[in-house]
Amino acid sequence: MAKAVLTISSKNYGAWSLRGWLLARFAGLDFTEVVIPPDDPAMKAEMLLLSSSMLVPSLQHGTVKVWDTLAIAEYLNEIKPKAQMLPADIKARAHCRAICGEMHSGFASLRSALPMNVKAHFPGFKVWSRAQGDIDRVIAIWTDCLKTYGGPYLFGAQPCVADAMYAPVVTRFLTYDIALEEACKTYCKRIMDLPAMKEWVAEAKQEPEDIDELEAEF
């Protein structure tokens, strides 16, 4: 099969892009990335060719075209079963899918008030109450997972789909200086220490420009 191509956007601002890219890395997929800068005026037209939803991430694998992070996760899990992208146990797998679904469809206040911005750091950032509710829910999810499955990742010994889905929240917690208990702090460090995350962050830091309109949900 032809080499896979993953279309993404900014590594500094693209939270969904980070999720899709990490999923491909966790799966051990051999892929090349196409980066469409979010401030490129030709972006929309280009994206329509690559992604029917005009959103990234989007994966082209031979004749298979798949977009939307959860669909990409399920596809990668099917073609790379040995990568164990989802927990082996049915109960844990259901739990994993539930918290991934929560991330995929929820946390609107967290997203709009604390947009991903890997390069930035805002010490003492004032969090408004609705966003705080989302933060508390994320902390409850992580604490429960780390306790139930013993860490160091959300579902045990290796990173899985859930860790990819929550990775942009990890970077947000660091960017916006969110106070965390020790277990969650250790989890964040674990995620940031992943070689794939280090690579992503290094490349995000190389992105030259700050894009003002993306200092909002993207």
Q: Based on the shown chain and the rule CB under 6 A, indicate whether residue 218 belongs to the binding site for ligand GSH.
A: yes
From start to end of the chain, where are the E strands?
Answer: 4-8, 31-35, 58-61, 64-67
User: Which of residues 60, 66, 68, 145 is near ligand GSH by CB under 6 A?
Assistant: 68
Shortest distance, position 54 Cβ to ligand GSH, whole Å: 6
Binding mask 42-61 for ligand GSH (x = CB under 6 A): ------------xxxx----
Q: Which of residues 93-122 bind ligand GSH (CB under 6 A)?
A: 104
Total residues interacting with ligand GSH, rule: CB under 6 A? 13
Would you report the helix, strand and coil content of the chain in percent, each value rounded to 5? 55, 10, 35
- Per-residue tokens: 60: 């082209």
3-state secondary structure of 103: helix
User: Which of residues 6, 12, 14, 100 is near ligand GSH by CB under 6 A?
Assistant: 14
Closest CA to 99 of 166, 170, 146: 166
Tell me which DSSP letter residue 45 carries.
Answer: H
- Write the CA distances from 148 to 25, 28, 85, 95, 181, integer angstroms: 25, 27, 18, 11, 17
- Per-residue tokens: 189: 């460090």
If the CB atoms of residues 68 and 163 are measured against ligand GSH, the closer one turns out to be: 68
Shortest distance, position 204 Cβ to ligand GSH, whole Å: 13
If the CB atoms of residues 27 and 56 are measured against ligand GSH, the closer one turns out to be: 56
Query: Does the CA dihedral 155-159-164-170 come out positive or negative?
Result: positive
Shortest distance, position 48 Cβ to ligand GSH, whole Å: 10
User: Which of residues 69, 84, 171, 175 is near ligand GSH by CB under 6 A?
Assistant: 69
Q: Which of residues 17-46 bind ligand GSH (CB under 6 A)?
A: 17
If the CB atoms of residues 165 and 174 are measured against ligand GSH, the closer one turns out to be: 165
CB contact at 8 A, 5 and 59:
yes
Shortest distance, position 93 Cβ to ligand GSH, whole Å: 19
Q: Based on the shown chain and the rule CB under 6 A, indicate whether residue 159 belongs to the binding site for ligand GSH.
A: no
| One-letter identity of residue 150 | G
Please give the residue ranges that form the binding site for ligand GSH (CB under 6 A). Answer: 9, 14-17, 54-57, 68-69, 104, 218
